[in-house]
Amino acid sequence: MLQLRQTIPDPDVLLALEPEELAAKLLFLIRNRSNLDGRYHAGNLENELWHDVPGQPSYPRGRQTEISLAMAEALAWLEAQGLAVPDAGLNGSNGWRRLSRRALKL
Q: What is the pLDDT along the chain (106 residues), one digit of tens a residue?
A: 778 988 999 999 999 999 999 999 999 999 887 677 888 999 988 888 888 888 777 899 999 999 999 999 999 999 999 999 999 888 888 989 999 999 988 7
Does the global pTM surpass 0.85? yes
Integer Cα distance of 59 and 81 in angstroms: 28
What residue ranges define each of the domains in the chain, with the CATH number in brackets?
2-105 (1.10.10)
pLDDT of residue 16: 98
User: 84 vs 4, 5, 34, 98, CA distance in Å?
Assistant: 18, 21, 16, 6
pLDDT of residue 34: 66
96 Cβ contact list (under 8 Å, min separation 6): 39, 40, 41, 86, 87
pLDDT of residue 10: 94
3-state DSSP call for residue 51?
coil
